Structure 1
Amino acid sequence: MSAALIAFATTFALVTAVELPDKTFVATLVLTTRFRPKAVFAGVSAAFAVQALIAVGFGSVLTFLPETLVSVAVGVMFGLGAAMLLREGFRAVPSEEEATHDAARGGTPVSFVRAALTSFGVLFAAEWGDASQLATAGLVARSAQPLAVGLGSFAALVTVAGIAVLLGRKIRSRLRPRLLQRIAGFVFAGFSLVALGSAVLG
């Protein structure tokens, strides 16, 4: 199996696991309760494409740094991602569920363009500094496969958005979002320790 394919598969699996229980999924689900699904999907997909490019660009810049500094930077990014995921996974009050309930109370018909632009804005803002964006940048820096990692990240984000749009609220009753967040958080913590250990031993 080629390095590019491995990088793509790894990124796709990791980002999908992170985003299924995260605000990306919930925000897309909430938007779908208010706007036409096709408009929401178009808007969020465009937002994911831009954010994936930004993450890949940042990760590519890191590859020009000395290997020890890259390992430290990757370790810090995964550490931040782990902290964010574990904080959400162990939080007592599931505010996302409340937000979903509130948004589902009503909805005003709007044009396709306006719905798509609104969806783009919401998801573009939500993804800044998100765990998946940090993971994408870190994987680019570690694998030196920016195209494969970028495509894997984008494909995963679009897949998660598609699940939210197609299945809507029903998917919430079949998943345990907080358990997924905890597992992903511990995985991120493991990546962080490996990267930091590499910096220390290297």
Structure 2
Amino acid sequence: MIDLGFIHAFVASLSVIIVSELGDKTFFIAAIMAMRHSRLTVFTGAILALALMTILSAVLGYATTLIPRWFTFYASSAMFAIFGLKMLREGYSMRDDEGQEEYEEVSADLRKKEEEAEKEGRSAGDQEIGVVRTKRHNPFEAFFSRIFIQSFTLTFLAEWGDRSQISTIILAARDEVIGVICGGVLGHALCTGLAVLGGRFIAQRISIRTVTLVGGIVFIIFALSALFIDPDD
């Protein structure tokens, strides 16, 4: 027998993550880092951070099931409607070059972090005795490469408090949590993979305005679905 609850949660989570993450800060982080470093390393660090954030958010949303089911179901649906209307309003007022500005801002931030990391990694010379002292190696950095750690950390911090994280919490409060996690992780993997493979070409040609408008419609659709679904199903 087909588990409709799982399918609905999976499709809802997958759709919401895709329209939330395309052209988002985490998307640009992966795209820019992949142009300078190993694509596999960048993708691995980013997707592990996003998967961890998805699981944590879903568990947090699931914890609200201690509250009466009907309340969390309709409250979360109302929040989806608010999110959708907010995205439509933002998309309507956006300029067509909004994505380019976001890309350049993230690129400048990453460039600054790269320069700081290079300065910290340089050896310090002792001019008085002519001995070159190298920086001690961190056992953690010896196991994981610096690029992996940077990709994981930057992605995790950028995702914290982001719209996709809040959406995951809301979805897990009203839908089947396993379906939310599976759909969310797959959505993140698709978006991050696209960013890593497409790099600058995709990042600079994504219309943030169009994605935001489509995202608003998707959020409203899932909010309206509450009118046709029994909260106890």
TM-score range, shorter chain: 0.7 to 0.9
Q: Secondary structure at the match of 2:66?
A: coil
| Residue 21 of structure 1, CA deviation | 2.5
Is 1:67–2:75 an aligned residue pair?
A: no
CA spacing shift, 1:70–1:6, aligned 2, 3 Å: closer
Q: For residues 222 and 166 of structure 2, what CA distance do their matches in structure 1 show?
A: 12
Of 110, 113, 120, the match for 2:152 = 120
In 2, are the aligned partners of 1:77 and 1:134 still within 8 Å (CA)?
Answer: no
Q: For residues 102 and 140 of structure 1, what CA distance do their matches in structure 2 show?
A: 35
In 2, are the aligned partners of 1:86 and 1:186 still within 8 Å (CA)?
Answer: yes
| Identity across the alignment (%) | 31
Instruction: Provide the residue aligned with 1:2 in structure 2.
Output: 3
Instruction: Provide the residue aligned with 1:161 in structure 2.
Output: 192
The answer to which of 153-162 and 173-182 deviates more is 173-182
Of 163, 173, 182, the match for 1:131 = 163
Q: Which amino acid aligns with 1:56?
A: A
Q: For residues 118 and 104 of structure 1, what CA distance do their matches in structure 2 show?
A: 10
Task: Give the alignment's TM-score, normalised by structure 1.
Answer: 0.79
| Residue 72 of structure 1, CA deviation | 5.2
Q: Which runs of 5+ in 2 are unaligned?
A: 122-140
Q: For residues 117 and 81 of structure 1, what CA distance do their matches in structure 2 show?
A: 32
CA spacing shift, 1:2–1:68, aligned 2, 3 Å: closer
CA spacing shift, 1:28–1:130, aligned 2, 3 Å: same
Q: For residues 193 and 50 of structure 1, what CA distance do their matches in structure 2 show?
A: 29
Q: For residues 159 and 172 of structure 1, what CA distance do their matches in structure 2 show?
A: 14
CA spacing shift, 1:30–1:76, aligned 2, 3 Å: farther
Alpha-carbon displacement from aligned partner over 1:28-53 (angstroms, at most 9, x marks no partner): 11222333212111110110121011
Q: Which amino acid aligns with 2:58?
A: V
Q: For residues 49 and 64 of structure 1, what CA distance do their matches in structure 2 show?
A: 24
Instruction: Provide the residue aligned with 1:151 in structure 2.
Output: 182
Q: Which runs of 5+ in 1 are unaligned?
A: none
CA spacing shift, 1:99–1:87, aligned 2, 3 Å: farther
Instruction: Provide the residue aligned with 2:105 in structure 1.
Output: 99
In 2, are the aligned partners of 1:29 and 1:165 still within 8 Å (CA)?
Answer: yes
- Equivalenced residue count is 197
| Residue 63 of structure 1, CA deviation | 1.6
Higher gyration radius (CA) = 2
| Residue 99 of structure 1, CA deviation | 2.2
Instruction: Provide the residue aligned with 2:29 in structure 1.
Output: 27
Q: For residues 59 and 161 of structure 1, what CA distance do their matches in structure 2 show?
A: 24
| Residue 124 of structure 1, CA deviation | 0.5
Alpha-carbon displacement from aligned partner over 1:45-81 (angstroms, at most 9, x marks no partner): 1101210111111111122211343135414643564
Q: Which amino acid aligns with 1:120?
A: F
| Residue 174 of structure 1, CA deviation | 4.6
Q: For residues 142 and 75 of structure 1, what CA distance do their matches in structure 2 show?
A: 8
The answer to which of 121-130 and 166-175 deviates more is 166-175
